[in-house]
Amino acid sequence: MIRPKATRLRLDPLSYESLCQQILHRDGWKCQSCGTMSNLEVHHKQFRSHSGHDSEENLITLCSTCHASVHGQTG
């Protein structure tokens, strides 16, 4: 039996921005990896490209350096 591809939750831009603000507030405006409070970004724990949802459970606050590191990028 072939299962249909699961639909991932992807919010419209305005709702996504609101959710990102909620995540930053939830995480105390700190990178959850190194603790810095500058250059913050919201990261999908399960990447969108791997069917990650735009949901509170799948998002975490990281600084730009830690976020780039998670994605295998170096500055």
Question: CA 67, CA 40: separation in Å to the nearest integer?
Answer: 9
Residue 66 included in any domain: yes
* Residue 45, domain extent: 30-75
Overall domain count for the chain? 1
Q: What is the pTM of this model?
A: 0.82
Residue 50 included in any domain: yes
Residue 42 included in any domain: yes
Quick: pLDDT tens for 35-72.
999 999 999 999 888 889 999 999 999 999 999 999 88
**Does position 7 have pLDDT exceeding 70, yes or no?**
no
Residue 48 included in any domain: yes
Residue 62 included in any domain: yes
User: Is residue 51 within 8 Å of 6, Cβ to Cβ?
Assistant: yes
